């Protein structure tokens, strides 16, 4: 299983830390699996299946068959195609329109007001995870 997880991470152009964030687990959990100290449980496999619906579960669990489901294509990999805020050193391929920028700022302000109930607490970072497996990271 650790070899297959490494293969997913490599194919998607991710780091183990980014992969862990995408599937909603601690980076140390993935580190232990990749080092062979632990085996992934049902929750981790389920999170991988939800985050990467194009990965064939039979292949992930047993190693048999193709990495990708028959209806998906390796080229349709949005994780390595779209830049994230983790890729600050790389130039952006696509810029947001002024309306999209305003919507993002408004979303952050709404979330920030809801979370920061105390005027002494300041939000440092917000990470939004979307149903398609992508995420946005906002940091002051």
**H helices then E strands: how many in the chain?**
7, 2
Q: pTM of the entire structure?
A: 0.52
Tens digit of each residue's pLDDT (9 = 90 or more) over 93-134? 555 565 555 555 566 666 666 665 566 667 777 788 888 888
Per-residue CA distances from 116 to 30, 101, 125, 126, 130 (Å): 31, 22, 12, 12, 22
pLDDT score of 74: 46
Helix spans in 35-81 (H)? 42-51, 57-62, 78-81
Q: 83 pLDDT exceeds 80?
A: no
Q: Which helix (H) or strand (E) holds 135?
A: strand 135-139
Task: Give the residue among 33, 12, 34, 30 at the shortest CA–CA distance from 21.
Answer: 30
Q: What pLDDT, in 10s, does the model give residues 15-54?
A: 999 999 999 999 999 999 999 999 999 999 999 999 999 9
* C-alpha torsion 110→96→130→5, nearest 10: -140
Q: Mind listing the pLDDT tens digit for each residue in 7-25?
A: 999 999 999 999 999 999 9
Count other Cβ atoms within 10 Å, centred on residue 83: 13
Q: What's the pLDDT tens digit per position in 58-71? A: 999 999 989 988 76
Q: Cα–Cα distance between 127 and 86 in angstroms, integer?
A: 11
């Amino acid at each position: 299983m650790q070899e297959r997880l490494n293969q997913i991470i490599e194919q998607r152009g991710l780091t183990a830390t980014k992969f862990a964030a995408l599937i909603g687990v601690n980076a140390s959990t993935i580190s232990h699996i990749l080092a062979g100290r632990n085996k992934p449980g049902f929750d981790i496999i389920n999170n991988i299946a939800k985050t990467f619906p194009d990965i064939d579960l039979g292949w992930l669990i047993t190693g048999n068959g193709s990495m990708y489901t028959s209806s998906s294509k390796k080229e349709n990999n949005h994780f390595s195609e779209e830049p994230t805020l983790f890729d600050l050193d790389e130039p952006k391929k696509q810029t947001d329109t002024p309306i999209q920028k305003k919507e993002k700022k408004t979303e952050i302000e709404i979330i920030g007001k809801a979370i920061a109930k105390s005027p002494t607490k300041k939000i440092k970072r917000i990470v939004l995870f979307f149903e398609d497996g992508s995420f946005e990271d906002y940091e002051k």
